[in-house]
Amino acid sequence: MTSSEITVLRAILSKTNDVSFDVESNHADIHLPTWQIWGCSFCCEDEKIYIDLSKKGAEKTIRKMFRLLLKQGRVLVAHNIKFDLRALRKAGIIEEYPPASQIADTMVGMNLLDENITEKELGLKPLVSKLFGYVVVDWKTAVEDGRFSPKFIEYSTNDSQFVFDLWIKKVKLGLEEQKLMKLFHSICMAELIYSADLEDIGVPWSVDRAQILIDKFTAFKNEKETAIREILGYDINLNSGDQLAEKLFVDLKFPTTGIPKTKSGARYQVNEDVMETLAVRHPICLSILEYRNSTKMINTYLEPNNERAKAAADGRLHPNIWTVSKTGRKRMNNPNFQNQPVIKDKELNIRACVVARKGYKLLTCDLSQIELRFCAHISRDAEMIAAYTNWQCRKCNSEGVSIKYLKCCPNCGEIANEKTIKDDKFIGFWHGLDIHQMTADATGLPRNLSKSTNFAAIYGASAWKMVQQFGVHT
């Protein structure tokens, strides 16, 4: 370290304000064997510096900087800080993630202040360009002359400066004015650290099991393709919406009542929703859905996950967990483990490719009727609220109301048993009622269809769609 660099570091440590930082690396895929950390920049007020990790003693200096800043109680700020923290831990510069009270992510903060900002607009470059008029250089341009070039060093220190300004002038100020700072640290930043841990650990994926499923889905897809072509013709391109629409609605004269057209109005749509509604009365549409589904299982889930697992240094999948969204719900990509398909056939179950390592077991958890509980809370519907607050015990013949979930009867201690709400003759205790079964009792539908209609109503499905899909009138 040069004397001027040491002077800047001491100046940053002598201040009391929050400190922004930015980690530089050769690419963003931390779990790949090719990933390398290059350096780290710091900024506090008018002081900023980039420390190149290729220099002697640089790693020790960066490690000491983070330790001292945290000891001082300073808040560490970054844009998409989850990546920077993961990079530091991967490189061995920090052993544990800082407490949630001492980190701040400007990207998450902006999302909290305005959930309508799009994902593209939440990037550091578009934010500071729009808010402050800063001229921003992208990473590819900055690294053109190499990682040791003055242009790249300026790029990194500028990024730290941009983050510091964004935090002090916009995000921190906004969170304090809207009294959201406590929520930001106790919920958003705590959740971010939890997500970082999940990304680091990853998910064990059986490549061998996935390959077996690829072979099975391929055979099933080929079988369905043959069956479809026997009816629609061997010259049809099954991936062409135009050709498929012409065969179904022109040649075979399938009914078009309620079937939407494409945006151009040139033809009727043949998407998944349309095929599902038509499949109730036209088996060929079910075969088309099964053909498409098999293709999707192979191309969207199995083959990409196998490639990711083979590429990762530890052979595991490490999905990206996004902590910003319009709804507040976290999401994943590469791969999206929130959207892995549920297949009841054990021989084709993709989720079975997620395996527990030796000596461990997989635990599946679910929130009980969480959407309906939200509906009860928001609507304040008396019957819905009663369904979740009333309790009864058939062992001691007592009943009552409690907003706190009870695991046993408060009078006799009888442990809760779900059979109580499913079997009138069963003697036991249960807190709440089964709204899906209540819908079934009221409509005369099977419980599985009642559950689907409840969710269809919540998410705004039309009466026509429900008639077509369930084959019943609502």
Whether the per-residue pLDDT at 464 is higher than 80: the answer is no
The pLDDT-based confidence of 471 (bands split at 50, 70, 90) is: low
Q: What integer is the mean pLDDT of 362-384?
A: 87
Q: What integer is the mean pLDDT of 374-394?
A: 91
The pLDDT-based confidence of 345 (bands split at 50, 70, 90) is: confident
> Across the chain, what does the average pLDDT equal?
91
Q: Are 108 and 150 in contact (CB under 8 A)?
A: no
**Residues of the chain with pLDDT > 70: what percent?**
97
**Residues of the chain with pLDDT > 90: what percent?**
70
* Between residues 275 and 470, the one the model is more confident about: 275
Q: What integer is the mean pLDDT of 137-163?
A: 95
With both helix axes pointing from N to C terminus, report the angle between 272-279 and 283-296 in degrees, rounded to the nearest 10: 140
Which residue from 86, 67, 20, 74 is spatially nearest to 47, judged by alpha carbons? 20
Kindly give the pairing relationship between strand 203-204 and strand 316-317.
antiparallel
pLDDT tens-digit map of 388-438: 999 999 999 999 999 888 999 999 999 988 777 777 788 889 888 888 888
The pLDDT-based confidence of 474 (bands split at 50, 70, 90) is: very low
The pLDDT-based confidence of 470 (bands split at 50, 70, 90) is: low
Give the helix ranges, DSSP H, for 233-355.
241-245, 272-279, 283-296, 303-311
pLDDT recorded at residue 469: 62
Q: Which two tokens stand for residue 262?
A: 């494409």
The pLDDT-based confidence of 347 (bands split at 50, 70, 90) is: confident
Whether the per-residue pLDDT at 468 is higher than 70: the answer is no
pLDDT recorded at residue 453: 85
Report residue 52: phi and psi, to 5°: -85, 120
Burial of 237 (0-12, 13-18, 19+ CB in 10 A): exposed
DSSP-assigned letter for residue 102: G
Whether the per-residue pLDDT at 148 is higher than 70: the answer is yes
The pLDDT-based confidence of 472 (bands split at 50, 70, 90) is: low
Q: What integer is the mean pLDDT of 78-83?
A: 97
> What is the value of pTM for the model shown?
0.79
The SS3 of residue 279 is helix
Question: Rounded CA gap, 167 and 158, in Å?
Answer: 14
pLDDT tens-digit map of 174-186: 999 999 999 999 9
pLDDT tens-digit map of 37-61: 999 999 999 999 999 999 999 999 9
